[in-house]
Amino acid sequence: MQIYLPIAEISVNIFLLLGLGLGIGFLSGMFGVGGGFLMTPLLMFIGIPPAVAVSTEANQIVASSSSGALAHWRRKTLDIKMGLLLLVGGASGSIFGVQLFAFLRSLGQIDLIISLCYVGFLGIIGGLMFIESVGAVLRRNRARHASQPVSKRRKRRLIDRLPFKTRFPASGLYLSVIPPIIIGFFVGTLAAIMGVGGGFIMVPAMIYILRMPTSVVVGTSLFQILFVTALTTFLQSAQNQTVDIVLALLLIVGGVVGAQFGARAGRHVKAEELRIALALMVLAVCTKLGWDLVATPADLFAILPLREGGH
Amino acid sequence: MITALAAAILLQGQPAMDIEPQSTPRVVAALSQEVVEIRSDFAGAEIILFGAVTNMQAEDDLVIVVRGPEADLRVMRKERTFGIWINRAPVRFEDVPSYYSVASTRPLSDVGGFSALRREGIGLQHLRLSAPESERTEIRLGVEVTVSEIGEDIIEYRDAISRNRRRDALFAETTTGVQMLEGGLFRANVALPPATPVGDYEADVYLFRNGNAVAAGTVTLEVRKAGLERIIYNFAHTHGWLYGLVAVALALLFGWSAAAIFSRR
């Protein structure tokens, strides 16, 4: 059964969209990731214009992150002060990203930049995650024979020398406000360009750069993602009219149901193996997009509308 | 718009010059549907163009050209840079029809002469695709000709547009698309693919005799969004910020209600 999407202006099979939502939702529930980094490229593969795919995916992430954010809010497993700082950076990053997106589109280079961002970030994150999780599995196997004490000593780094320090009681940190704002801005910009929540960058940045305790990392990340994607959806709607509400609803319906089943399935799998699988998946998407950049295209010419969506 | 108007005037003026008084042919045409509505179940449409020709002779041919709304395009050629294919060398084309299909009783080269087809822009080969920014006019042998500044390459760019549109079935050429029935009656199917853009369409029916268009008739067609598709589209374009708020609110509603439903179980 085909459905005509009013903003994307193409006709797509409704079950394909529900299935995509369900499948990606399942994976995101299982791995605890947003799934935007998988969904946005897939939407483009099936022919949704990149501008619509990116904006609509931001709308879907609002739904997929909202239930998680609410749960963490109730359990108080989030650092609101840190979240607000990340949000200040994220909101400005989102505003900047939406402008940058429009500018790159006017140059005819938006597809290239989206692909390059994906290949770069997915490659780095997937690679690091793979190495780290394989290491963890090996350590776990070794730990059965002899457990090693983990060093908790922290070195004084560049980040600790920055001014405007403040206390983050929930995270137990005394840190400058500059790194969270910069990280938030960076992730907000990427979210607007790549159509992702940015959790896959935000979570490692919180753990390795800000050194937040893992108990509040996921909740804080979801809190920030929820607000930044909501803002991105709003800005893209107001400025570029590229949010397709019909497409978003179909993906959301599939996604929220899939995520619940995925979360249940995830409980029966060991965390390290889960991370290895996620890393392999991230690397697979990265390889596919990277291959498309270097392989000789079927048609050497690109036809670009001069103003999208305007009549 | 002005070019379309000029073409329409040209069309009407055309047959008057070549008329033979004893058997002035006339073309009357109509569409099975004058409005095509794009609703949520739209997956393309097929409409029938039919009509009659008076004083038709045995060797006459009919050609039907359907043109969709025009838009400006940018065509870029991909070039390999540091191993990556990058869009380069943009050429801006103006007033390119978003839909263009030709149907005829016989292959176009048998129907009309090169100049007659070129003048009316009949056939994918003769469709006017102009890139004014890369063109200049020169006087050669006393005749004003259009010269492209990128030389022969412009042909590749034009072919790329045609190839791209044919892939989505937005450009089409069928040499047997027009069916002649008895008594000068004719019919042809006009296929509108799922990617059909909204706007005003014009279908021109040309009667060719001895290689020249001797009569023509025009019918118009409107493709528009209807029902919910139209409401959503208009809402998005007139109240973008409110649309954005609704989109966010719906997402939150779905996210939270799903969590509530599943946590109760």
Residue-wise pLDDT for B127-166, tens only, equals 888 887 777 777 777 777 777 777 778 888 888 888 889 9
Comparing C-alpha atoms, which of B153, B208, B243, B144 is closest to residue B15? Answer: B208
Residue A233, pLDDT above cutoff 60: yes
**Residue A225 vs residues A64, A83, A192, A266: alpha-carbon distances, Å:** 10, 9, 11, 22
Do B249 and B188 share a structural domain?
Answer: no
Q: Please check whether residue A191 lies inside any domain of the structure.
A: yes
CB contact under 8 A, A108 and B39: no
Q: Does residue A137 fall inside a structural domain?
A: yes
Q: Residue B239 sits in which domain range? A: 226-265
Using an 8 Å CB-CB cutoff, list chain B residues near A246. 40, 232
Same structural domain for residues B77 and B158? Answer: yes
For A64, counting Cβ atoms within 10 Å of its Cβ (0-12 exposed, 13-18 middle, 19+ buried), the class is buried
- Would you state the pLDDT for residue A276? 85
- DSSP for A145-211 reads T---PPP------GGGG-SSEEEETTTTEEEESHHHHHHHHHHHHHHHHHTS--HHHHHHIIIIIS-
Asked if B245 and A245 come within 8 Å (Cβ–Cβ), the reply is: no
Average pLDDT, chain A: 83
* Of the residues B209, B225, B241, the one at which a domain ends: B225
pLDDT of B199 > 50? The answer is yes
pLDDT tops 90 at residue A50:
no
Distance CA B245, CA A277 (A): 37
Alpha helices in B72-142 (DSSP H): 108-111, 114-120
Would A79 be classed as within a structural domain?
Answer: yes
Q: Do B30 and B60 share a structural domain?
A: yes
pLDDT for the residue numbered A175: 81
Residue type, B76: M
Q: Do B141 and B205 have their domain in common? A: yes
Residue A306 placed within a domain:
no
Which tokens belong to B146? Answer: 């259009």
Q: What is the mean pLDDT of residues B51-62?
A: 85
Helix-strand-coil split of chain B, %, nearest 5:
35, 45, 25
Cα dihedral B128, B133, B134, B139 sign: positive
pLDDT of residue B255: 86
Structural domain includes residue A150 = no
Assess whether B201 and B243 both reside in one domain: no
Residues B207 and B233 in one domain: no
Find, among B126, B113, B19, B127, the residue nearest to B61 by Cα: B113
Indicate whether A302 belongs to any domain.
Answer: no
CATH number, domain containing residue B146? 2.60.40.1930
3-state secondary structure of B201: strand
Query: Per-residue confidence at B243, pLDDT binned at 50, 70, 90?
Result: very high
Q: How far is CA B91 from CA A295, B58, B68, B148, B152, in A?
A: 24, 45, 21, 11, 13
* Contact flag A233-B251 (C-beta cutoff 8 Å): yes
The residue whose two tokens read 């590749």 is B156
Q: What is the pLDDT of residues A240-279, one digit of tens each?
A: 888 999 999 999 999 888 888 888 887 777 777 777 888 8
Claim to verify: residue B251 and residue B132 sit in the same structural domain? no
Chain A residues whose CB is inside 8 A of the B84 CB are: 112, 116, 293-294
Neighbours of B24 (CB within 10 A): 14
Do the bridges between strand B199-209 and strand B178-180 make them parallel or antiparallel, or are there none, so unpaired? unpaired
Give ipTM to 2 decimals: 0.82
B236 with B159, same domain?
A: no
Query: Domain span at residue A263?
Result: 2-142+159-294
Are B173 and B107 part of one and the same domain?
A: yes
Model confidence over A116-152: pLDDT tens digits? 888 998 898 889 888 988 888 888 777 665 544 445 4
Report, as an integer, the average pLDDT of A231-236.
90
Q: Are residues B189 and B250 in the same domain?
A: no
Partners of B186 in the β-ladder: B51, B180
Choose among A292, A302, A221, A266: nearest CA to A29: A266
Q: What is the pLDDT of residue A144?
A: 62
Task: Dump pLDDT digits (tens) for B60-91.
Answer: 888 999 999 988 888 988 888 888 898 888 88
Contact flag B248-A108 (C-beta cutoff 8 Å):
no
Give the pLDDT band (50/70/90) at residue B15: very low
Q: Is A183 contained in some domain?
A: yes
Residues B41 and B60 both lie in one domain:
yes
Instruction: Please list, in sequence order, all residues whose beta carbon lies within 8 angstroms of the beta carbon of residue B3, skipping any fewer than 6 positions away.
Output: B70, B95
Q: How many domains does chain B have?
A: 2
Q: Give the mean model confidence (pLDDT) for residues A164-168.
A: 78
pLDDT band at A307; cut points 50, 70, 90: low
Q: Please count the structural domains in chain A.
A: 1
Whether B195 and B242 share a structural domain:
no
Averaged pLDDT for residues B102-128: 86
Q: Does B247 touch chain A (CB under 8 A)?
A: yes
Nearest to A306 among B72, B199, B258 (CB): B72
